[in-house]
A and B are shown apart, each in its own frame.
Chain A
Amino acid sequence: MKILVPVKRVLDYNIKARAKADGSGVALAGLKMSLNPFDEIALEAAIRLKEAGQATEVVALSCGDAAVQEGLRTALALGADRALWVSSSEELQPLAVAKLLRAVVLREAPTLVICGKQAIDDDANQTGQMLAALLNWGQATNAAEIQLGEGRVDVVRETDGGTETLRLLLPAVITTDLRLNEPRYATLPNIMKARKKPIETLTPEELGVTVTPRLKTLRVQEPPQRPAGIKVDSVAALLARLKNEAKVI
């Protein structure tokens, strides 16, 4: 059984994003980029299924310019067997990525696609669901637990009211939530080995997909700032402020 894991390279989660002075986008130059944390969790889930003998191959895929190969190297170092790069210098929006993924799924015929539930840059939370729709596969988003069975997979999902378990017939798309697992770190020898592994290159044209952006970002700006607050020196002072000044209690 083959598992496909799409990964995205994003601004590291420890860095606070800033708008460019002219509002044309987010300032990324010179800042640390990392794999999207949810994609690391997806990769970890796939690798564990392989280690448990339930999957035979883990294929990582990333779409974008040459820099996304860095993310694929990390995926290889973590344990992906192969890496596919869909090369494009276009701004790739979720629908376009879902179409690229669909085309790759038709070539690679994985039984399972595990994606992060959202990328922490655009926070869209769309791609996995869109892919499931395009393939007419079942979908389980926000996975907190994955149990593979014969021809099916049971997924515990985190919901607004608790959890629910979905039983999906394979093939299926799963998107990962934070508590599915704790991803491993890549070891130095594996990082070195990953540098020498081949990365297979594809293009949207070869895959027959038009990736022209549909949405247009007009402006990026800092959100409204809260006025600076104060420190109070006692519980009594806090309560007095909440009652008389803020009038919330």
Chain B
Amino acid sequence: MENRILLVAELGSEGHLKSSIRSLLTAARSLEGEIDVLVWGGDTTFAVAEARRLPGIRRVLNGVGPTLADGLAEMLCALVQPLARQYTHILTAATVIGKNWMPRLAALEDVAMVSDIVGVESSDTFVRPIYAGSVWATVCCPEPLKLVTVRSTAFPGVEGEGADPVAVENLPCPEALPQSTRIAVHTHVQEGRPSLENARVVVSGGRGLGSAEHYEALLGPLADELNAALGASRAAVDLGYAPNDVQVGQTGKVVAPDLYIAIGISGAIQHLAGMQTSRVIVAINKDPDAPIFTVADYGLVGDLNVLVPELTAALQK
């Protein structure tokens, strides 16, 4: 049987398609079948144009309207549910948004769902990390409709563009917001640096930094020199050194940059879960026995207050 696959995309803050859609395409290709891409938001103009040029897709579905602007789980379910049974698979990225609406849809459709996959073995069998990634489970999902969230970093994005833009179908936008839920305030942290999800280099700091001032004063210049995103351990976020949305780990973001530099981070399992598939890992820590060194390609033992400025200065040369 030919699979029919729907990929639900996400928009970045400027209305462009997030690059995770290309990872979803990679995952979808190993399922084999026709692929549709659903774009949704308050204004999807840019994203639809970009989606139409994705390689190897059949068509783009466009869900646009004011009730979709905030990405409420209830609204996304109202948008996707009417189409759901036309598909054998619906995939979306395992982001805060994806993790919010897809389980809701699964329950509405009475199907079990598969979270946060890192591999596709066949059209009903997937690999996913459990226990903070300490072990991987291979899971068979016999549901006729497979709802799956995908860990983007595990699937290198499909490159290139399609020859001609594919057709767009406009979907009816859900009319009213749900009775139960309203967005009151939306804060977005201003991004001066590359975003954690897409950066080629990530400089990440932990409790060893000692204060918010040190975090910025030591890591900021290093990150700027490497054009890197800043990340943090949970301890650093809890202590207020860094905002919540840069926490890397089991319960934060999962990143896999070309280069991850862990500074003053001990390397708890929950932190490793978010960074251990980076291509190259560097650790700077004064404790030679810190577990972070078990995953580091290059370890530097010593005081970060000395070593980090030295590293930044050497790069500036």
Contact = CB atoms under 8 A, between A and B. Distances in A.
A93 B72 CA distance: 25
A230 B182 contact: no
A241 B298 contact: yes
10 contacts: A26-B131, A118-B251, A137-B180, A160-B95, A179-B244, A215-B139, A226-B295, A235-B311, A236-B314, A246-B297
Contact of B250 (A95, A120, A137, A246): A120
B168 interface: no
Interface string A132-145: 11100111111010
A154 interface: yes
Given A117-B251, A126-B103, A166-B72, 16 more contacts: A17-B132, A95-B107, A129-B73, A129-B101, A132-B104, A133-B107, A162-B187, A162-B245, A167-B183, A216-B142, A218-B125, A231-B293, A241-B298, A242-B280, A246-B279, A249-B259
Interface of A: 11, 13, 16-19, 26, 38, 93-95, 98, 117-118, 120-127, 129-134, 137-142, 144, 154, 157-169, 172, 177-179, 214-223, 226, 228-232, 234-236, 238-239, 241-242, 246, 248-249
A242 B261 CA distance: 11
A93 B314 CA distance: 53
Nearest to B113: A126
A138 B103 contact: no
Given A134-B107, A169-B179, A217 B298 contact: no
B131 A17 contact: yes
A248 B280 contact: yes
Contacts of A167: 181-184
B158 interface: no
Contact of B300 (A129, A232, A249): A232
B76 to A, nearest CB: 11
Given A26-B131, A160-B95, A178-B238, A130 B189 contact: no
9 pairs of A and B residues whose beta carbons are closest in the complex: A138-B180, A17-B131, A214-B112, A130-B107, A133-B107, A129-B103, A126-B103, A138-B181, A229-B297
